[in-house]
Amino acid sequence: MTAYPRHAQALAALADRGRLRSLAPRLGHDFASNDYLGLAGSDVLRDAARAALDRGVAVGAGGSRLLRGNDSEHEALEALAARHFSTEAALFMGGGFAANQAIFASLPMPDDLVLYDALIHASAHDGMRLGRAETQSFVHNDANDAQAQITTWRTKGGKGRIWLAIESLYSMGGDFAPLADFAALAAAQDAVLVVDEAHATGLYGPTGRGLTEGMAHDANLLTLHTCGKALGISGALICGAADLTQTLINKARGFIYATAPSPLNAALVAAALHHLHANPQRRTATQALVDHAHATAAKHGFTGLQSQILPILLGTDQRVMQVAKSLQQRGYDIRGIRPPTVPRGTARLRISITLNTTADVISQMFEDLAQVTA
């Protein structure tokens, strides 16, 4: 007999619908991680960690950054990130979820409008719920619909600033935002363009600085670069105008009241940025694997893929989990993604291409995928 019968019933209902989540070990070839450049378990970061510890970098911060937790490694990383991403300032936080939440909870003012893509990340939604601004979605990747929403809001008397929120590369669809269209709209409306670069940082842009590279000097652009994906570590960098980062330091509860990220972690993020700047071959090698994956997928009838994130839509929750299990039994770490993470009726395999695999393994995986979905 459980002491929490209502919780047990809710879990049983999730299981009946094929939506019960559980933790699973890492097994098989990596087609599930966001470690796109293969840095997470690399000698590059192991050596950087040893070097940082040898020079006395602390493992723990010991407090929030507004108390004694502010370390020279945090400040050095933020200065490096501002230069690296060509912005006035940068703020390092413990993770992308906390950083995104802080942006939307703390920066838009009460008379402002947060206008967000319908498929924006859950962390942005949580931030908006905590914020004081009005919020409105627009059709995914549709700048014309965003313009129509602005017109409607202004007609109804909206007078504040608009915060136009998108992702440069969407984590579940693997599709790119039409950045030029949204940048033009933001410029025309004097809006702040907030771009989550989580899945583009390190891999895209002329030198791997994300898809906003070349436009990051714009004072009306705020970017989020997470450090737990292509950079191989954890944490997040919010990059933009100094007035905005200072506002976060003063108003973001997830920053003010949280123990600071590990100084060692900050040192490793800095090492990753330096390494990627000096070794562009990691990006080109990953892109070659992505190109191979797209070509191989097309041969088996899986088309419309755009990036290193390959969504294979299978429809029902039960089917996607059955197919994922079959592939796992064949030696591939591939996971099923179900609502509410993705819209109802679009349960999918989310296959990611990283430097942790090879072209031969990718080819065999698609052969097996075609068999189990036939």
What is the residue extent of each domain of the chain?
A: 24-40+280-372, 57-278
Whether pLDDT at 216 is above 70? no
Whether pLDDT at 185 is above 90? yes
Query: Taking residues 36-62, what's their average pLDDT?
Result: 98
In Å, how far from its chain's centre is CA 273? 17
Provide the mean pLDDT of the chain.
96
Q: What is the pTM of this model?
A: 0.94
The predicted pLDDT at position 26 comes to 86
Whether pLDDT at 118 is above 80? yes
What does the alpha-carbon distance between residue 126 and residue 129 come to, in Å, rounded to a whole number?
5
The predicted pLDDT at position 320 comes to 93
195 confidence band (pLDDT: 50, 70, 90): very high
The predicted pLDDT at position 217 comes to 67
What does the alpha-carbon distance between residue 287 and residue 181 come to, in Å, rounded to a whole number?
25
Query: Taking residues 289-314, what's their average pLDDT?
Result: 97
Of all residues in the chain, the percent with pLDDT exceeding 90 is: 91
Task: List the end-to-end C-alpha distance of the chain, in Å, as a whole number.
Answer: 43
30-34, 217-221, 250-254, 341-345: lowest mean pLDDT where? Answer: 217-221
Whether pLDDT at 314 is above 70? yes
Query: CATH number of 57-278: 3.90.105.20, 3.40.50.620, 3.40.640.10, 3.10.20.340?
Result: 3.40.640.10
90 confidence band (pLDDT: 50, 70, 90): very high
202-206, 235-239, 337-341: lowest mean pLDDT where? Answer: 337-341
18 confidence band (pLDDT: 50, 70, 90): confident
96 confidence band (pLDDT: 50, 70, 90): very high
Domain 24-40+280-372, CATH 3.40.50.300 — does that match?
A: no
In Å, how far from its chain's centre is CA 290? 18
**Of the candidates 100, 246, 254, which has an alpha carbon nearest to the alpha carbon of residue 163?**
100
Q: Which residues 6+ apart lie within 8 Å of 15 measured at CB?
A: none
Query: Taking residues 175-185, what's their average pLDDT?
Result: 97
